[in-house]
Amino acid sequence: MLNDKQSLLLCGLLIGIYFVSGVLDILDNYAIKTLLALIFFAVVGNLVYINSKTHKQNESDDNS
């Protein structure tokens, strides 16, 4: 899915959007909430995918 640089970029973007929208007092906007949720779930989904992929590779290496 995403490599390390892309994940870090999304995390930085998430923090930046959260900070700017908090300063501008637009965190209650539905579009901002949706954008923040999508970025957050993309990063978390990528973490789960990478960890499960690594875990499966370790199991197959142990069985060989």
Task: Describe the crossing of helices 4-23 and 30-63 by its angle, rounded to 10 degrees.
Answer: 160
Residue 24's pLDDT is what?
A: 96
Whether the Cβ atoms of residue 3 and residue 50 lie closer than 8 Å to each other: no
- pLDDT, tens digit only, all 64 positions of the chain: 788 899 999 999 999 999 999 999 999 999 999 999 999 999 999 999 988 888 877 877 777 6
Short-list 17, 13, 7, CA closest to 45? 7
Look up the pTM and report it: 0.81
Domain boundaries, the chain: 4-63
The residue behind tokens 């973490």 is 47
